[in-house]
Amino acid sequence: MLTAMAWRNLWRHRRRTLITAGALAVSMAFVLALFTYMDGTYRAMSTVMVDQTIGHVQVHHPGFQATRSLRLTVADASARRAALDALPEVRELVPRLEGYALLGGADRTSGGLLLGVDPAVERAQLERRVVKGRFLADAPAREIVLGQGLARSLAVGEGDEVVAVTQAADGSLGNDLYRVVGVVASGTVAQDRSGAWVHLADLQELLVLPDQVHSFVVLSPSLEPRVDDPVVNQTLAAVRGVVGSEGVDVVSWWEASPQTAKLLGISDGSAWIVLCVVFGVAGLGVLNTMLMSVFERTRELGVMKALGTRPAVLVRLVLIEALILGLLSVAGGLALGGLFDLYLTTKGFALTTGDGDRLSTGGVFFDDVIRGVVKPERIVAAAVFLLGVAVLSAVWPAVRAARLDPVDAMQDR
């Protein structure tokens, strides 16, 4: 009964209702858009810093992480790989081998880190970053792809030959000639300056490490692996089950690289601060609007009281109106916010400097275009918050009006 009355009341003052609801709805839409933007930025950072570099779970020799020593490898690579690939908890399995080498172009030499990869697996990530030529072919063919900075240091380009010389695992001098098939604008500053990708089989041959890898990098089904993510922990357990613990360490990404976890934590932390500020300001706006809305009606409420409505009922009425108003606003906010979000998630937004050079932070380059990410929890949080503030801010004026002497209330100005 009260609800029906509340509803009627609202529509009696159609203009005021619509204006108030409109203001609230727009506020909510902006908040949603901001969420989408920030979540998108975080996902971009996390993807590059975690997914594409250290993965979610790593399998490597126990001493390898600390020393990155050439000979600390995981043996029986092909057999283990097949077993791990079969696991449902493993979204992607990336074998990796690395070795520091002296690289030589026609007249310049430079030290570089050779990364032996399986092109079929890494292609998805790296192909987008190719700025010249292409990525490696699926079959080993002595091809090499250089990081932008390295290609510049060596003064080589597509089609040129690069010699790599290194100390092989058996003590001999590993050396071979590779053909540059592409140049990559890599994801990390370090890789850009000294990274070179070759086929895993080619590197195994150069380093005399047959059927060995330095690490298996595993991606779990989780899209955004936070520290202690349960999905990642599941994958961790599954991998351990297959690989055992002899001669290998199986670790989660946050154990493998606490610095990355910290870095992402800071990014997340500062995002939270911004969020609080945004919520604070938006909340103030809503509070403001609702306060005034109800204060305006003191007179009217006074009349009702004079007509015999009990104070408690009055307050309830006002609160129900506030609730309905809030719900209307949320609906409007979702609609408008939905439009903003659509734009952000499809067209995305750019993060480059004036002349198109990429920016870096924490050693990681940002992608050219970042797409927004919409998370249901955010929408729910924003809606609940809005509703909460709307209703709560109606309390004070309602109570005040209910307590006033009807005559005073009617004269309220």
Among 88, 159, 308, 354, binds another protein (CB under 8 A): 354
Where helices occur in 244-297 by DSSP H, the ranges are: 253-256, 258-296
In angstroms, what is the minimal distance from the CB of 257 to another protein?
A: 13
Q: Which stretch binds another protein (CB under 8 A): 55-63, 212-220, 223-231, 354-362?
A: 354-362
Does 32 bind another protein (CB under 8 A)? Our answer is no
Does 381 bind another protein (CB under 8 A)? Our answer is no
Residue number with CB closer to another protein (85 or 357): 357
Q: Which stretch binds another protein (CB under 8 A): 209-217, 330-338, 349-357, 384-392?
A: 349-357
Chain position carrying tokens 């003052």: 13
| DSSP bridge partners of 57 | 218, 252
In angstroms, what is the minimal distance from the CB of 375 to another protein?
A: 19
In angstroms, what is the minimal distance from the CB of 279 to another protein?
A: 10
Binding mask 126-165 toward another protein (x if CB under 8 A, else -) reads ---------------------------x---------x-x
Among 237, 277, 342, 407, binds another protein (CB under 8 A): 277
Residue number with CB closer to another protein (169 or 236): 169
DSSP 285-344: HHHHHHHHHHHHTHHHHHHHHHTT--HHHHHHHHHHHHHHHHHHHHHHHHHHHHHHHHHH
Among 130, 157, 201, 295, binds another protein (CB under 8 A): 295
- How far apart are alpha carbons 103 and 105 in whole angstroms? 7
- How far apart are alpha carbons 382 and 386 in whole angstroms? 6
Does 411 bind another protein (CB under 8 A)? Our answer is no
- CB under 8 Å to 37, separation ≥6 — which residues? 344, 349, 372
Among 210, 280, 310, 380, binds another protein (CB under 8 A): 280
- CB under 8 Å to 406, separation ≥6 — which residues? 302, 303, 305, 306
H or E segment and range at residue 58: strand 57-60
Does 22 bind another protein (CB under 8 A)? Our answer is yes
- How far apart are alpha carbons 93 and 213 in whole angstroms? 12
**∠296-413-321 over CA atoms, to 5°?**
15
Residue number with CB closer to another protein (243 or 301): 301
In angstroms, what is the minimal distance from the CB of 234 to another protein?
A: 27
Residue number with CB closer to another protein (33 or 219): 33
Among 109, 125, 309, 345, binds another protein (CB under 8 A): 109
Does 308 bind another protein (CB under 8 A)? Our answer is no
H or E segment and range at residue 237: helix 230-243
Determine whether 152 is exposed, middle or buried from the number of CB atoms within 10 Å of its CB (0-12, 13-18, 19+): middle
**In the window 169-228, what residues touch another protein (CB under 8 A)?**
169-173, 175-177, 189
In angstroms, what is the minimal distance from the CB of 341 to another protein?
A: 14
Does 335 bind another protein (CB under 8 A)? Our answer is no
Chain position carrying tokens 């520290």: 227
H or E segment and range at residue 242: helix 230-243
250 torsion bin: left (phi>0), alpha (psi -120 to 50), beta (else): beta
In the chain, count H helices and then E strands: 15, 14
Q: Which stretch binds another protein (CB under 8 A): 43-51, 124-132, 261-269, 381-389?
A: 261-269
Determine whether 347 is exposed, middle or buried from the number of CB atoms within 10 Å of its CB (0-12, 13-18, 19+): exposed
Residue number with CB closer to another protein (176 or 255): 176
Among 52, 73, 204, 293, binds another protein (CB under 8 A): 293
Among 91, 130, 158, 167, binds another protein (CB under 8 A): 167
Task: Answer for the pair 50, 258: CB distance below 8 angstroms, yes or no.
Answer: no
Kindly state the number of chain residues that form the binding site for another protein, as judged by CB under 8 A: 66
H or E segment and range at residue 11: helix 2-12
Residues near another protein, by CB under 8 A: 15-16, 19-20, 22-24, 26-27, 30-31, 33-34, 71, 102, 104, 109, 111, 153, 163, 165, 167-173, 175-177, 189, 258-259, 262-263, 265-266, 269, 274, 277-278, 280-282, 284-285, 287-289, 291-293, 295-296, 351, 353-355, 357, 359-363, 413
